[in-house]
């Protein structure tokens, strides 16, 4: 059996100092490296997919249909994916999901390079990719949380998210350049290769320190147990309800209204792309901040940082000049990352290891549930009340639901525990040596 993460992460160098931080064990390193690779490929592939549809003669509506084909199975299969990931070894679920994503993107790339992809083919292949993501995300988040423990968990999550967000920014920039130079087909091929490499890395994850689950009921029983765990924690379901609204209105503002405002008032797509890049830079800045700041009241600090997510919608409603919009996008990026790291730390300390993936699935499902509807009704709402009023409404909803969550006592009072509480089946403390058999990637929905 391979060595546990703790023994690998704490090996001293010849000079007496550690080669790597004590929390950066084998599993954590593999998960972070694989997440960087897949984010580099996937963010470029999102751009390539839209241009592949347009290149094939598709309209803006066709681009929306292909995007919806990815989102729908992602929402539909999340709960099943979470139950499966808590039933069988999570790394197997992750590798299988990566294999499905690799295959679907490879076929997509071949069709685009051949020059005549059909709309139904592109929708089917993106739907397969969304299905793989639905199974992958809960397993990946559970695996990441099980690979980190001890007082340095917040720093570990911050570094992971910084690496992932940095790869996303770089992947979008690189993907856009490659689409312009080589065409979307080659970018999709690179994404397929990235999934293959990441899946190979994840196959080497060590699950020897995670206790096997005792035989239990079927899939429905597992889902019911996850639901009981979810609904028994007011801080958990109240924040998930909050983010169902926040993600819906922010998604509608940035996916539907933002490009239109940029086209009509800011000078086109290029300034909007710069503003989105500043949001990405803000997420990196927020992750760096959370490497050093450890707020005692985790959820209070995180929830207060949701208020700035109203700024981009308000900035588009004014509208602010490009430099002003870039500033508010950067601030909102920092803020959401503070929330994200605080949320992952809270989940890590409060949720039993054997239920990580199922609870994560309910988190993802609830947070994403209203997003397709919001983007679908954004156009009719604009026609009914005007774009400016719709954007101010988006900003107001973020403020109202966030203020409402602060009324939940546990959200205000939840405090950081000085040391992780370990029960049978939870992850070992990576700051101390432990035997191999001793008894998660992303926190808030973002993708691991």
Tell me the per-residue pLDDT of 328-375, one tens digit each, with 9 for 90 and over: 999 999 999 999 989 988 988 888 877 877 888 888 888 888 887 787
Residue 231 has pLDDT above 60, yes or no: yes
- At which residue do the structure tokens 């499905």 appear? 100
Give the integer Cα–Cα distance in Å for 426 and 439.
Answer: 6
Q: Is the peptide bond before 313 cis (omega within 30 degrees of 0)?
A: no
Tokens of 401: 């639901």
The tens digit of pLDDT for each residue in 269-296 reads 667 777 888 888 898 899 889 888 889 8
Q: What is the Cα–Cα distance from 252 to 239, expressed in whole angstroms?
A: 20
Residue 419: pLDDT over 90: no
Name every residue whose Cβ is closer than 8 Å to that of residue 2 and which is 6 or more positions away in sequence.
26, 206, 208, 436
Query: What is the value of pTM for the model shown?
Result: 0.72
Q: Over the stretch 246-260, which tens digit does the pLDDT of each residue have?
A: 998 998 888 778 877
219 Cβ neighbours under 8 A, 6+ residues apart: 80, 83, 84, 87
CA distance 443 to 124: 28
Sorting pLDDT into bands at 50, 70 and 90, what band is 392? very high
Whether the pLDDT of residue 378 is over 70: the answer is yes
Angstrom distance (rounded) from CA 139 to CA 131? 13
CA distance 222 to 265: 51
Q: For 121-131, write each residue's pLDDT tens digit.
A: 998 999 999 89
What does the pLDDT read at residue 160? Answer: 87
In 259-367, at which residue ranges do the beta strands (DSSP E only) sit?
A: none
Share of the chain above pLDDT 70, in %: 83
Q: So what's the pLDDT on residue 352?
A: 83
Q: Which of 103-107, 122-126, 440-444 has the lowest mean pLDDT?
A: 440-444
Q: Alpha carbon of 355 to those of 131, 172, 211: distances in Å?
A: 21, 34, 12
Q: How confident is the model at residue 19 (pLDDT cuts 50, 70, 90)?
A: low
Q: What is the CA radius of gyration of the chain?
A: 21
d(CA 287, CA 448): 15
Q: How far apart are CA 207 and CA 216, in angstroms?
A: 20
Give kind and range of the element (H or E) at residue 309.
Answer: none
Q: How far apart are CA 19 and CA 63, in angstroms?
A: 47
Q: Is 175:44 a contact under the CB 8 Å cutoff? A: yes
Has residue 9 got a pLDDT over 50? no
Question: CA 274 to CA 316: how far, in whole Å?
Answer: 14
Strand partners, 12: 18
Cα–Cα distance, 224 to 214 (Å, whole number):
16
| Inter-residue contact 375 to 70 (CB < 8 Å) | no
CB 28 within 8 A of CB 148: yes
Q: Does pLDDT of 244 surpass 90? A: yes
Give the mean model confidence (pLDDT) for residues 100-113.
94
DSSP for residue 427: P
How does DSSP classify residue 18?
B
The answer to whether 202 and 95 are in contact (CB under 8 A) is yes
CB-facing half-sphere around the CA of 228: CA atoms within 13 A: 8
């Amino acid at each position: 059996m391979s060595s546990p993460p703790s023994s690998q992460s704490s090996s001293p160098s010849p000079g007496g100092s550690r080669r790597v931080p004590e929390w950066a064990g084998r599993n954590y390193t593999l998960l972070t490296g694989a997440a960087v690779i897949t984010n580099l490929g996937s963010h470029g592939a999102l751009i390539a997919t839209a241009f592949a549809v347009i290149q094939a003669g598709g309209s803006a509506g066709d681009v929306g249909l292909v995007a919806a084909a990815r989102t729908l199975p992602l929402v539909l299969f999340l709960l099943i994916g979470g139950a499966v990931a808590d039933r069988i070894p999570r790394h197997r679920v992750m590798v299988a999901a990566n294999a499905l994503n690799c295959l679907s993107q490879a076929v997509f790339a071949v069709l685009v390079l051949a020059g005549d992809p059909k709309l139904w083919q592109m929708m089917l292949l993106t739907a397969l990719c969304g299905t793989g993501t639905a199974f992958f995300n809960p397993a990946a988040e559970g695996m990441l949380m099980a690979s980190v423990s001890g007082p340095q968990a917040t720093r570990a999550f911050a570094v992971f998210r910084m690496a992932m967000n940095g790869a996303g920014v770089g992947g979008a920039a690189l993907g856009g350049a490659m689409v312009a130079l080589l065409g979307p087909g080659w970018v999709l091929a690179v994404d397929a290769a990235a999934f293959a490499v990441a899946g190979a890395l994840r196959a080497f994850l060590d699950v020897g320190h995670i206790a096997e689950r005792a035989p239990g009921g079927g899939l429905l029983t597992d889902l019911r147990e996850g639901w009981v765990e979810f609904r028994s924690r007011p801080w958990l379901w109240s924040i998930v309800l909050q983010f169902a609204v926040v993600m819906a209105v922010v998604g509608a503002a940035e996916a539907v209204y933002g490009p239109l405002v940029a086209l009509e008032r800011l000078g086109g797509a290029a300034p909007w792309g710069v503003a989105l890049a500043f949001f990405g830079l803000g997420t990196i800045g927020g992750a760096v901040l959370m490497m050093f700041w450890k707020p005692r009241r985790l959820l209070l600090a995180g929830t207060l940082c949701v208020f700035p997510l109203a700024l981009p919608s308000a900035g588009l409603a004014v509208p602010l000049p490009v430099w002003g919009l870039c500033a508010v996008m950067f601030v909102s990026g920092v803020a959401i990352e503070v929330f994200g790291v605080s949320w992952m730390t809270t989940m890590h300390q409060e949720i039993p290891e054997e239920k990580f993936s199922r609870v994560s699935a309910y988190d993802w499902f609830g947070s994403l549930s209203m997003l397709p509807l919001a983007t679908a009704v954004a156009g009719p709402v604009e026609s009914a009340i005007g774009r400016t009023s719709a954007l101010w409404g988006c900003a107001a909803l973020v403020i109202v639901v966030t203020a409402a969550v602060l009324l939940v006592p546990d959200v205000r009072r939840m405090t950081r525990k000085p040391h992780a509480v370990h029960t049978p089946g939870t992850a070992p403390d990576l700051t101390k040596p432990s035997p191999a058999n001793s008894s998660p990637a992303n926190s808030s929905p973002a993708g691991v």
